[in-house]
Amino acid sequence: AVQLNHPNIVQIYELGKYREQYYIAMEYVSGRDLRQILDNFRGSERKLPLSVAAYIITRICEGLDYAHSKEDAKGKPLNVIHRDVSPQNILVGYSGEVKITDFGIAKAEDRVSKTQVGVLKGKFGYMSPEQVRGHVLDYRADIFAVGILLYEMTTGERLFVGASDFATLEKVRNAEIPAPREYCPDMSEELEGVIMKALAGEREERYQTAGELGEAMEMFLIEERSIFNSKRLGQFMQSEYE
């Protein structure tokens, strides 16, 4: 496995085998995953504060940008793609940490046998259109997935959910995105523009790096005059869960 050392990625300490059982020892994060946080707000009158959503997204983007830019000892890009950026794989700690977990299905291109084109990996509702179509992926698939997270965090609605897995995949394939402001009327046009760019059906029209998307979210926080940091996220988490 590629060693990824970054504050926004769960650390892998050891991979091993004990009595014919393989195991993985990884960093423990005391907190909740993003699915639990979103479910906590869904079905209530409350919405996840936009500043909380924006800050979490900036941290996810920092971790992904690091992974996407990872090089080997000779300076050759490893082309690491997570492939399963979904709410269950984003951990938010009570101290305000934000960490991406389960880089287990991520791959560095030349280290692992090629994933068969057409074999779907990842959670269906968080795939990119090109992933559903069986195209060769690059890191912009992860950027689309972050766009889905941002959409769901700001609107309180699931973006791609169908009556069956097939129906969900068709929704992803067609990349039909209801305007976020239909669900969140107080959202600024600028933030809606950021979300829609991250969710562009054609990857050439998306943000081209996770860093670009992260910078757009940081600009949103500045324009909202929201001074947000890990301490404030920790306070939010403690007020919600402790």
Q: Active site includes 84?
A: yes
Rounded distance between C-alpha atoms, residue 206 and residue 197, angstroms = 5
Among the listed residues 84, 102, 142, 165, the single catalytic one is 84
Exposure b/e, 83-122, CB count within 10 A at least 16 = b: bbbbbebbbbbbebbbbbbbbeebbbeeeeeeeeeeeeeb
Q: What is the CA radius of gyration of the chain?
A: 18
Tokens found for residue 116: 């068969």
Contact indicator for 52, 234 with CB cutoff of 8 Å: no
Instruction: Please identify every residue annotated as catalytic.
Output: 84
